[in-house]
Amino acid sequence: MLREWGRIGCIGFGGPPAHIALLRKLCVDQRGWLDSTEFEDAIAACNLLPGPASTELAIFCAWRVRGRLGALVGGAAFIVPGLIVILALSVLFLAGTPPPWVRGIGAGADAAVAAVAVQAGWLLLVPSWRRAAGSRRLRWIAYLLAGAAAAPLIGPWLVFVLLGCGLTELAIRRKPLPRPARAVAAWPLLAVRAIRTAGPAAAAKTAAQTAAVAVGGGGLLAVAWVAFKVGALSFGGGFVIIPLMQADAVGHHWMTSDQFLNGVALGQITPGPVVLTVATVGYAAAGLGGGLLAALVAFTPSFAFILIGGKYFGALRGNRHAQAFLDGAGPAAIGAILGSAVTLARALTEPWQYAVLAGAAVLMLAVRRGVVLTLLGAGAVGLIVALVGGPLPG
């Protein structure tokens, strides 16, 4: 198990689709540890849970094969190779005075990140829209817009919008609605109305003040809170972590906007879970110890979900309450991913970066090239700009 799950952790470039394909080939096609129906049920159940779905699937498959010890060994083997790589790259790219060629590669890859976010949101948006039917589509649009507005305006507290939309949909489907449920159902609309009334600046200021109180001014507690949001309160796939982390990482002055873009790009081009980006944020905040703490906190909920609830996965897929919650939280998460693309694009500072962004959008959305290839190509453009003495972000 250490060998097989470690191999997937080392070669799993490309995010969840690649991880799912590799796990299916190993556990269903080659070894026959799970049948195809159980594997599909596991995918559906993991998508109903918060946190990194492909990581939870890897842990579940290991648990199914060798119990709790297998889940711990297999899950660690899946996560640790990418963690080592991303921490090593963080040392290089987040150095106080990295050489120009490193800055060029980072600036080029940074420019393509917004296009990666758009592609991630689009791939989720189309099937989610098709699943919605009838009157649910109006609510789906409302949830999508709530998430899209919350990502740039109240980034650190986006989790409450996701939870509010999920609880709203759950309350609407349980009739008659009790008074507390009616209040919950109105929550996303009230939040959006408050943001619209107060204005983006006031909303951002309020969120920042609340964040400062909640995390005690920064430090390891703040790192742990960011990682906890990523691991236990995020719905909709790996890219939801961007708006969850960005406001904290930049607002606490752990990273500049350019460095945060570097971290997102590193999370995409390294093997293993995309959520490992949180280790880069932790490293920027508190060095190697902060990076390890962030990874530990972010992935602990995934292990807990499987070790405690793995035996209920078969029932979870058909649970109408869980599905109703995801039908509300899912569109909001997709909106948050698309909203984060706006913030990521605004962080670019050099004209040539916008040209790289346009090229990356064409490659990914029109030509349908992969994320890793696109980011490597964008990084190569940035390297050329640096070598010829072109302008680089400060």
User: Are 308 and 260 in contact, with CB atoms under 8 Å apart?
Assistant: no
pTM of the model: 0.73
3-state class (DSSP) for residue 104:
helix
Sequence spans of domains, the chain: 2-387
Q: Can you give the pLDDT of all 394 residues of the chain as single tens digits? A: 999 999 999 988 767 777 888 898 999 999 999 988 888 778 878 877 888 888 999 999 999 999 999 999 999 999 999 999 999 999 888 877 778 888 898 888 888 888 888 887 887 788 888 888 777 889 999 999 998 988 878 766 777 888 899 899 989 887 654 454 443 344 344 444 433 444 444 434 433 344 444 444 457 899 999 999 888 877 766 677 777 788 888 888 899 888 888 888 888 888 888 889 999 999 999 999 999 999 999 999 999 999 998 888 767 766 788 888 888 888 888 888 888 888 888 888 899 999 999 999 999 888 888 888 888 899 999 999 999 999 888 7
pLDDT of the residue at 189: 44
H-helix or E-strand containing 100?
Answer: helix 100-131
**Residue 369 backbone zone (phi > 0: left; psi -120 to 50: alpha; other: beta):** beta
- HEC profile for 362-392? HHHHHCCCCHHHHHHHHHHHHHHHHHCCCCC
Alpha-helical regions (H) of 310-370: 313-317, 320-346, 351-361
Q: How many CB atoms lie within 10 A of CB 193?
A: 11
Measured CA to CA, the distance from residue 78 to residue 91 in angstroms comes to 22
pLDDT of the residue at 155: 65
